[in-house]
Structure 1
Amino acid sequence: MISIVKRILKISGKYQKNVILGLIFSGLKSFFVSLMLLAVLLIMINLEQLNMTIIMQATAIVVVSIFGRFIFQYLCDRKLSASGYEIFKDKRIEIGEKLKKAPMGYFSEKNLGTIQAVLTTTISDLEGMAMLAMNFIVGGFFHAFSMTTMLLIFCFPVGMVSLIAIIFGMGVLKLIAKKTEKYSPIMQDSQEMLVTDAIEYIRGISVLRSFEKGTDGKNKVEKAFMSKCKVDIEVTEGSAYLMKLYEMIFKVASCVLVFVAIILYMKSLILLSYTLMFIVSAFLIFMELELVNDGAFLSRMLATQLNRLDYVSDIPSLDEGGKEIDLNSYDIELKDVCFGYGEREILKNINLQIKSNSSLAIVGVSGSGKTTLCNIIARFWDVNKGEVFIGGHNVKDFTSESLLQNISMVFQKVYLFNDTIENNIKFGNPNATHDEVVQACKKACCHDFITSLKCGYDTVVGEGGSTLSGGEKQRISIARAILKDAPIIILDEATSSVDPENEHMLISAIKELTKNKTLISIAHRISTVREVDQIIVIDKGKIVQQGNHRELISQDGVYKHFIEIRKQSIGWKI
C-alpha cells in the first residue's frame, strides 16, 4: 500500500505539495479524533468528585476534537480531491498531446478499446479513487497507531492487544492485495473488451442491419456484458471472505480489549477510570482502520489502473530530436524507401523526386500502397528503410507540428468533429475570419449547401459529420485545406464522393488551390490526372511506370490498361 502512495505522489507533478499537505491534514484529523480519549479519561478519573469545572474542561476537549476533526477533514478533502482532479486533468491533456505526435502505427498496433477505456474509464476511476484510497490508508493507520500509542502509555497489556490486532490486520491486507492483484487485470481486460465490442456494434449497426445480422452483433455485445458481469461477481466472491476476515479481526480485537481491561481491573492492576476509558477506546480505535479494508482493495485496483495508464502514456513520439525548421524549398524526395505494417511489406525501394510547384498523380490498384506513400511523406509513419526529404531536410529532423504546417491533406475518409461547420473548416486556420471561411467554401463548392441549412455555418454536424452526406463532408474537407493554404497539398481521392455536376467546379477549385504549390494527388477520375506534370504507377509496392499522361498512354503497361478498362473501374483507382 505504501508503494501505491509513492506512485501517486510521483505522478502528482506540480500538485505533489498539495497532496502531501492533504495527507498531513488527514493525519491531524485523526489526531483530533484521538483527543476524545482524553475527554473520556478526564471524566472517568474524576468520576467521584465530578464538578462543573471538570465537565467544562471535558466539554472543551470534545469541542476542540470535533472542530479540529471537521476543519482538517475539510482541508484534507479540499487539497486531496482538488489535486486528484487537477492531476488527472493534466494527465489527459498530456496523453492527448502525445497521441498527436505518435506514429499512426501506434494506433494500428494498439486496441482502440484499450486506449478509449484508459482515457475514459481508467482515468475517471483514478480521479475518483486515488485520493480516497490515500486518505483511507494514511488516515486510517495514523488514527490507529496514534490511539494505540496512547493505550501503550496508559497500559502496556491493553496497548499490545491493539498492536497485535493491527499486525494481524496488515497480514490480511497483504492477502487482499494479492487477490486484487490477481483479479484487477481480469476486470480491466473485461472492461476494455466491453468498450471495444460496444464501439464496434454502434459503428457497424448500419451494416449489421443491412445484412440482417443485427441479432449477431447484439449477441456479441451481450456476451461482453455477461462476461463483465461474471468477472465482477467472481472478483467480489473471491475477495469477500478476506474482507470479512479483516473486519472480524478488529471486532474480535475490540472484545478482547474490553475483556483484558476488565480482567486487569478485577485484579486491581488498573483503576476503574482507566478501565472505562479502555472500554470506550475499544469501540473507537479501529473505527477508521476498518476503512483501510476498502483502501487496500482500492490500492491494488489503482496499481493495475496505473499500470494501464503507464502503458498508454508510454507513447512513442515522432518529435524526439525534432526541431522547428523553416523551409526555403518544397522539393520532395524519397530515397530507397521501404515500408510495411509488421511483416507485411507495402512499399519496396521507392525512389521519387517531386519538384516544388509541380504536380504528381499516383495510380495503382487498391492496396498497392498509394495512400501509404502519401502518409510517409507527411510522416504519419516512419519508413522501415530509406529516407524522405522535404526541402532538403529529412522529415525525421522536423517536429510534427513544423512539418505538417507545410502540408494540407484531404483524406479519402473524411472525419468532422462534433462542432459547427465553420469551426470544422477553421481547423485549417484557427485565426481565419468568417469571410475567409466563406471564400474557401465557395472555392470548394460547398457554400450553397451550407447556407441552405437552417443554421448555416453554425450548423453542428454531429460526431464524424454524421448529419452530412459523403460528398458534403468531402467538400468541407477541401474547404479546410484551402483555408490552411499550405505549400504542399496531398489529395487522397479528394473528388471520389463529389457529384458529377460539381466535379468540374471542384477541379477548377483544386487548380486554384494548387497554383504555385506542390500537389500530390490520388484520384479515381482520369480528368484529374490528364494535365499533371508527373504520373507514377504503383503495383505491388513498386513504381512500375513514371511519366506524364501522353507518355504513359503511348506505352503498353498498367496505365494504358487502366485507361482501356476505366469505365468498368474494376479494382482500380487513380
Structure 2
Amino acid sequence: MIGTLKRMMTWCAPFKKRLYVGFLFSFINAIFIIIPVALTGYVMKMILMQMADEYAITLEDVLFVLALTVLSVIGRYVFTYLRSAYQDMIGYEVATQKRLELGNNLKNVPLSFLQKHPTGSLTSAVSTDLQFIEMHGIKMLDTIVNGYVSSILFLLIMGFYNWVIALISVIGLLGSYFFLNRISQKSKQNAEEYQRSRNVMTSATLEFVRGIPFVKSFKLDGLANEKLHHAFEKAKNINIKIETDFVGPNQAHLITLKITSIFIVMSSSLMALEGMLELPTMVMFIILSFTMFRGVEVMNDAMHILKVIDETFDKLEQIELSSKLRDEVKDIEVPNHTIRFSNVSFQYGSEKVLKDLSFTIPENQTTAFVGPSGSGKSTICHLIARFYDIQEGVITIGNVDIQTMSAESLLKNISIVFQKVYLFNDTIYNNISFGKPDATYKEVVEAAKKARCHDFIIKLPNGYNTIVGEAGATLSGGEKQRISIARSIIKDAPIIILDEATASMDPENEHLIQEAILELVHGKTAIMIAHRLKTIQHADQIIVLNKGETVQQGNHDKLLSEEGMYRQLVESRKKVETWTLKGDGNYE
C-alpha cells in the first residue's frame, strides 16, 4: 500500500502543492467533524453540573454551543469543497499530460514495440487505464490519507482523556489494517489477470468490429462470436474472482472495527460505573466509537482499487520505458540528401533480414529495389526512416549518421507513400494539409491538382470539406492513394519513399497515380519498391535483393542484358501480365 501511495504522489508531482493543500483541508475538515462530538460532552457536563446546582446555564452558553455547531457544519462543507476544488481535478490534469507523453513516446518507439504490443493493449492504456486512474486515483489517495489522519486525530483526543480507551482503538485499527492488507494481497494477485483480461477484451472487440465484412463474407459469425464470447467470459470470471476474494477479508475488516466500537462502549460504560470516567466523557467516547472508524471503513474499496492502479502504473511505465530509439540525438541539418548504407545488418528477433549491405542512393535520383518477397526491400525503407534501429553498420544521409538525428530532424526530410494508405477521419483538406499544417488553401488545391485528385474532390458534395470517414472508408483505394500523394507533395520533403504505392491499383487509377508520382519525385531523392516493370524501368538505379543481400545493381537496360535474377523477375512478370483464363477454367 505504501509503495502504491508513493507512486501516486510521484505521479502527481507537478501538482504536489495542491495535493498537500488538499490534505490540509481534509485534516481541518476532520477537526470540524470532531467539534459536535466534543460539544456533546461539554453540553452534558454543563447539564449535570446544573442538576447538581454547581453551575447555571446562561444564554451565552447556549449561543456559544449553537455558534460552534453552526461553525462545524459550515466548516465541514467549506473545507470539503476546498479539498475537492484543489485535489479532484489533479487526476484529470495529470492523465491528460500522461496521454500526451504516451503519444510522444509511441511516436518514437521502434515498430518492433508496436508489433509486440497488441492494439487493444495500447488502446486500453491510453483510454480506459488512464481513465481508471484519473477517476479513482486521487479519491482513493485522499480516502486512505484522510482516513488514517482523522483516526490519529481521534486517537489523540481519546488518549488525552483515557489511555486505555485509546489503546483499545489502536488494537482495533491494527486488526483492521491486517485484513486490509489481506485485501491488498488478494487484489495484487488478481490485478495482473484483470489487466490482461481487459486488454484481451479490448483487442477482441476491435478485431471483431474491424473484421465484420470479412466475417460476413465467409459466414464465420459463429467463430468470430466464439472468440469475442471467450474474451467476455474470461473478463466476467476474473471479476467474479475479484469479488469472491474481496468478500472474506472485507467482512473481517468491518467486523473488527465494529467489535472495537463495542469494546469502547463497554469499557467506557464500566469505567464510568466504577467512577474512573466522567459521564460526559463516557458519552463522548460512545459517540466517537461510532464515528471515528468511518474513514477507515471505506478503505476496503480503496485498497483493492490501489492495487489495480498499481498494476496500471506498471503497464504505463512499461510503455514509457520501452525500448525507444536511442536518446542521444540532436536536431541536425543535413548538407545533402545522398543516402549510404555501409555494412548494414538487421534482424527481426532471431531472423536476419539484411546481411552486410552496402550501397549508395545518389541525391536527386530515383533508386528502385526489386527482389522476391522477403528479400528486405520494405525493411530498407523502414530503416531509412528509422522505424527500427540497425544492429550493425551505419546509415547516413548527407554523411550524417541517422542514429544521431532526432526523429523530427530526420523525418522532416522524408515523405513516405505506403501501399496501405491511412487517412484520418477528417476532411480531405485536413488530410492533405497534414503534410504541412500551415498550408494555405491555394497550396492544398495545387498539391491536389499535381496528385490528380482535384477533379474528383470538387465533385464531392462538400468538396475539400468532405469527411472521408474512418481510415478513408468513403473513398476508393485509388482516391485514397492520390490524396496520400498530395499529402507528400505539399510536405515537399527532399527524400521520397514509395513502398509498393501502385501494387494493387486498377488500370484506370494506375495511370493517374503514375502521373502523380512523377510530380512527387521530380527533383527529389526517390526510393521506389515495386513489382511492375513500367514503374521501375526508368529508374536511374535498380538494386536487386535476394535473402537480404545485393545480387545485382545497375539500370534497367544493363541488368536486362545480364544473366541474373533481374532478367528472371522481368520474364516472370511478363508471363503473369499475359495470363488469361480459358473457358475450361485453366490458365494459359
Deviations 1:90-117 (A, max 9, x none): 0110111111111111111223322221
Unaligned regions of 5+ residues in structure 1, if any? Answer: none
Q: State whether structure 2 residue 563 is matched by structure 1 residue 560.
A: no
Alpha-carbon distance change, 569 to 129 in structure 1, aligned in 2, over 3 angstroms: farther
User: Is the Cα contact below 8 Å between 2:482 and 2:516 reproduced in 1?
Assistant: no
User: Is the Cα contact below 8 Å between 1:428 and 1:484 reproduced in 2?
Assistant: yes
Deviations 1:116-136 (A, max 9, x none): 211111111011111011111
Equivalent residues in 2 for 1:57-72 (5 A)? 57-72=64-79
Question: What is the one-letter code of the residue matched to 2:204?
Answer: D
Structure 1 window deviating more from structure 2 (240-249 vs 199-208): it is 199-208
Distance 1:5 1:517 in 2: 55
Equivalent residues in 2 for 1:334-345 (5 A)? 334-345=341-352
Distance 1:92 1:430 in 2: 22
Match of 1:184 among 158, 169, 191: 191
Match of 2:502 among 479, 492, 495: 495
User: Is the Cα contact below 8 Å between 2:481 and 2:513 reproduced in 1?
Assistant: no
User: Is the Cα contact below 8 Å between 2:369 and 2:377 reproduced in 1?
Assistant: yes
Match of 2:320 among 287, 306, 313: 313
Structure 1 counterpart SS, 2:371? strand
Question: What is the one-letter code of the residue matched to 1:403?
Answer: L
Deviations 1:162-185 (A, max 9, x none): 121111111111111111111111
User: Is the Cα contact below 8 Å between 1:40 and 1:58 reproduced in 2?
Assistant: no
**In the comparison of the two structures, how many residue pairs are matched?**
570
Unaligned regions of 5+ residues in structure 2, if any? Answer: 51-56, 578-588
Distance 2:322 2:185 in 1: 29
Q: State whether structure 2 residue 415 is matched by structure 1 residue 416.
A: no
Structure 1 window deviating more from structure 2 (309-318 vs 515-524): it is 309-318
Structure 2 residue aligned with 1:486 = 493
Structure 1 residue 461: Cα displacement:
1.5
Structure 1 residue 567: Cα displacement:
4.1
Distance 2:213 2:369 in 1: 32
Structure 2 residue aligned with 1:536 = 543
Deviations 1:237-283 (A, max 9, x none): 01111111111111111111111111111112112212222221111
Structure 1 residue 44: Cα displacement:
1.2
Distance 1:338 1:568 in 2: 34
User: Is the Cα contact below 8 Å between 1:99 and 1:315 reproduced in 2?
Assistant: no
Structure 1 residue aligned with 2:582 = none
Question: What is the one-letter code of the residue matched to 2:44?
Answer: M
RMSD over aligned Cα atoms: 1.5
Deviations 1:464-520 (A, max 9, x none): 112222211111111100110011100112223443234334323322322221010
Distance 1:271 1:568 in 2: 107
Match of 2:171 among 153, 164, 168: 164
Structure 2 counterpart SS, 1:196? helix
User: Is the Cα contact below 8 Å between 1:443 and 1:506 reproduced in 2?
Assistant: no
Structure 1 window deviating more from structure 2 (340-349 vs 224-233): it is 340-349
Distance 2:520 2:212 in 1: 38
Structure 1 residue aligned with 2:8 = 8
Distance 1:24 1:567 in 2: 80
Structure 1 residue aligned with 2:43 = 43
TM-score scaled by length of structure 2: 0.94
Structure 1 residue 329: Cα displacement:
0.9
Equivalent residues in 2 for 1:131-530 (5 A)? 131-318=138-325, 320-530=327-537
Distance 2:258 2:385 in 1: 66
Question: What is the one-letter code of the residue matched to 1:15?
Answer: F
Aligned-pair identity (%): 36
User: Is the Cα contact below 8 Å between 1:331 and 1:391 reproduced in 2?
Assistant: yes
TM-score scaled by length of structure 1: 0.96
Distance 2:248 2:20 in 1: 33
Distance 1:243 1:285 in 2: 18
Structure 1 residue 430: Cα displacement:
0.6
Distance 2:272 2:509 in 1: 99
Distance 2:30 2:467 in 1: 52
Structure 1 residue 556: Cα displacement:
2.1
Question: What is the one-letter code of the residue matched to 2:528?
Answer: S
Structure 2 counterpart SS, 1:453? coil
User: Is the Cα contact below 8 Å between 1:101 and 1:319 reproduced in 2?
Assistant: no
Distance 2:282 2:510 in 1: 95
Deviations 1:354-396 (A, max 9, x none): 1111111111222221111111011111112111110001110
Structure 1 residue aligned with 2:84 = 77
Distance 1:338 1:198 in 2: 38
Structure 2 counterpart SS, 1:67? helix
Question: What is the one-letter code of the residue matched to 2:182?
Answer: L
Structure 2 counterpart SS, 1:565? helix
Structure 1 residue aligned with 2:127 = 120
User: Is the Cα contact below 8 Å between 2:337 and 2:397 reproduced in 1?
Assistant: yes
